[in-house]
Amino acid sequence: MAWRETFDAHWHEIANRDNERTRRMFRYYRSVCAGALRARNLQLWQVVYSLGRPGRYDAPR
């Protein structure tokens, strides 16, 4: 993946402020995101809770 190659190529520029653990966590997070995008397995849920308002909620768009 291009983002990983770019990240690894430029890691030395930020290595002095971040440690190896941060690098591994970032790569893992981005890999999971890339896998979900490739699998088209993403969902977004938006839930609105309201207190004491009967009826439905019309979301402004």
Residue type, 15: A
Backbone angles phi, psi at 20, to 5 degrees: -65, -35
The secondary structure of the chain in percent helix, strand, coil, rounded to multiples of 5, reads: 55, 0, 45
Q: Is 33 a catalytic residue?
A: yes
Catalytic residue among 33, 34, 36, 37: 33
Catalytic residues: 33
